[in-house]
Structure 1
Amino acid sequence: MTSWIISDLHLSAQRPAVTQAFLHWLEVEVAHAESLYILGDFFEVWVGDDVLNDMQHGAEFLPVVQALRKLSDSGVKLYFMHGNRDFLIGEDFAKASGLQLLTDPTLIQAGNKRILLSHGDALCTDDTAYQQFRSQVRNLQWQRAFLAQSLAARIAFAEQARNQSAQNKAVQPIDIMDVNQSAVEQLVIEYEYPEMLLHGHTHRPDVHALEIDNHRCQRWVLGDWHDTAVVCRLDDDAIQLVTLQLEE
């Protein structure tokens, strides 16, 4: 059976073509698969599960939730791992969509290979300002206080954070926003040398060969969804990166 692993769709009302391409792909490919893993940044922004109950702001998410629920009800196993854009997705969204939330990282078995899944942002340790922000917003006490604010206030905060992030990216050296090699090695060692580490976040799809303590490993990087998307396909006897053409 086939499983798919994707990340960094950044779905939003401002990019309807990407949402439509994703929904079409679910019907054509994923409907016949065993499972789908979503490794974060599924949405461009997520300010809390209660957005689904808001008539003004929730409408853009409902077709996606309904499509996922349809897949889940048909028997496809759905898994979701938080990204830096949608770390506030919670149990209400998971229940509505029929998916299971995963911790970051999560180790899975594919044939005779152990694959360590991660969103990837925790590995970008050279970006110290982002890591400080990440530590703050992943704190449960901070999240409770944030979710207690009005929906309008949360949306305004998210917009400000996005603008600040765009400004930071414009002036930072590009390598700072990539994974740190030492962080990658430490993670591989911690999980006892899996054959593959697979992540998204950096929008730099590629396959990197690693040798750590005489153990050979590969780091596979998924791509974001823009004009194309680079996803991973797992079959019983093969693992490959697949490029999807996202037609307008």
Structure 2
Amino acid sequence: MQKLFISDLHLSEDHPRLIQGFLSLLKHYQHQPTELYILGDWFNVWLADGDPSAWLLPIVKQLREFTASGNRIYFLCGNRDFVLGQGFLNRFDGILLQEPYFLDWQQQHIRIEHGDALCTDDIAYQKFKSVIRNPIILNFLKILPFYLKRKLADYFRRKSQQRQTQTHYQPIDVNFQEVDRQMQQINILIHGHTHRPAIHHLNEAQQRIVLGDWREDTGCAKIVLLENNGQINFFDWRF
């Protein structure tokens, strides 16, 4: 199967164009044997695997049709949807991955992750992550009543909107020493998070591929397709 990698869609009911772009992607590849890897920040905010929101229904429906055709969906969490679990993925036979995740393709050893762990210079965020990802805190968040989860989501959404009023907001970039440390015995590293899509050729045997965030204003996202013939196709998905 060919392998398709996407990241940083930030889907929400407030951004219908992004939703339609994702649904179009699923329809486009539905009848092409494809393993779809979603590398975090699939949703702008994730409240609970049992979220009853109506806007999620067409997404789940299209995901079911995608996997019913024999395709596969893999997800690893980002900084926006880290409470999304196997419970939601079970609705369409998706598989939850733990990062970093490793796979082999065309004699290449590949590492995939969201990318936030590589941004070690973002000290404030790394401190926040160490607290919010604590299993005790995570379990507490999961048992909160849904209305309180909604209030928390609204708070974080306002914070995100304030931050993203800057033109083409980008998180702090990766720390290159951390990248070098994590790429031992790795040929290809694929990640998102930084909103800086590019292919970085580190040497003749190693490259780092950074996926792009999905942009409603331009209707474009930079994604990667590892083709069965061994080609790496890094291209704009337009919607």
Q: Answer whether TM exceeds 0.5 for this pair.
A: yes
List aligned pairs for 1:23-38, cutoff 5 A.
Answer: 23-38=23-38
Give per-residue Cα distances to partners, 1:28-72, cap 9 Å, x unaligned. 224313311111111111011121xx3xxx111111112112211
Contact 2:119 2:173 (8 Å CA) reproduced: yes
Distance 1:159 1:135 in 2: 22
Supply the AA of the counterpart residue of 2:33: A
Picking from 210, 234, 237, the partner of 2:202 is: 210
TM-score between the two structures when normalised by the length of structure 2 = 0.90
| Paired position in structure 2 for 1:6 | 6
> Could you tell me the TM-score, scaled by structure 1's length?
0.87
**Structure ranking higher in helix proportion:** 1
Query: What residue identity is the alignment partner of 2:54?
Result: A
| Residue number in structure 2 paired with 1:242 | 235
Shift, 1:2, TM fit:
2.0
Q: Which whole-Å CA distance do the structure 2 matches of 1:169 and 1:24 have between them?
A: 25
Match of 2:210 in 1: 221
Distance 1:31 1:121, change over 3 A: farther
**Paired AA for residue 238 in structure 2:** Q
Instruction: Please state whether the residue corresponding to 2:137 is helix, strand or coil.
Output: helix
CA distance in 2, matches of 1:30, 1:132: 40
CA drift at 1:175: 8.3
Equivalent-residue separation in structure 2 for 1:23 and 1:158 (angstroms): 24
What's the Cα RMSD here?
A: 2.0
1:166 Cα deviation after fit: 5.2
- Partner of 1:4, secondary structure, is strand
Whole-angstrom CA distance in 1 between matches of 2:58 and 2:43: 13
Query: For residue 197 of structure 1, what is the aligned residue in structure 2?
Result: 189
2:84 to 86, 89, 98: 89
How many residues end up aligned between the 2 structures? 233
Cα distance in 1 between the residues matched to 2:73 and 2:111 = 17
Gaps of 5+ in 2: none
- Name the residue aligned to 2:73: 78
**Residues 125 and 170 of structure 1: CA distance in aligned 2, closer, same or farther (over 3 Å):** farther
Q: Deviations over 1:184-204 (max 9, x none)?
A: 112112xxx211100001111
Secondary structure of the residue that 1:198 maps to in structure 2?
Answer: strand
Per-residue CA deviation, residues 190-233 of structure 1 (Å, 9 max, x unaligned), is xxx2111000011110011224xxx8411100001112011100
Whether the aligned pair in 2 keeps the contact of 1:30 and 1:36 (CA below 8 Å) is: no
Partner of 1:232: 224
Offset at residue 78 of structure 1 (A) = 1.0
* Alignment counterpart, residue 131 of structure 2, candidates 99, 114, 136: 136
The answer to whether 1:159 aligns with 2:151 is no
Asked if structure 2 preserves the Cα contact closer than 8 Å seen for 1:126 and 1:176, the reply is no
Separation in 2, partners of 1:15, 1:78: 22
Instruction: Verify the 8 A CA contact 1:125 1:179 in the aligned structure 2.
Output: yes
State yes or no: 1:113 paired with 2:105: no
* Larger mean Cα displacement after TM superposition, 222-231 or 147-156: 147-156
What is the identity percentage for the equivalent residue pairs of Structure 1 and Structure 2?
A: 38
Encode CA deviations 1:110-161: one digit per residue, 9 max, x unaligned: 1121111010011111111111111122112101111221112112212323
For 2:54, what is the secondary structure of its paired residue? coil
Q: Distance in 2 between matches of 1:105 and 1:69?
A: 26
Classify the secondary structure of the residue corresponding to 2:104.
strand
Which structure 1 segments of 5+ residues have no match?
none
CA contact under 8 A between 1:6 and 1:38: conserved in structure 2? yes
SS in 1 for 2:79: coil
What amino acid does structure 2 have at the position aligned with 1:42? W
Would you say the 8 A contact 1:48–1:147 is kept in 2?
yes
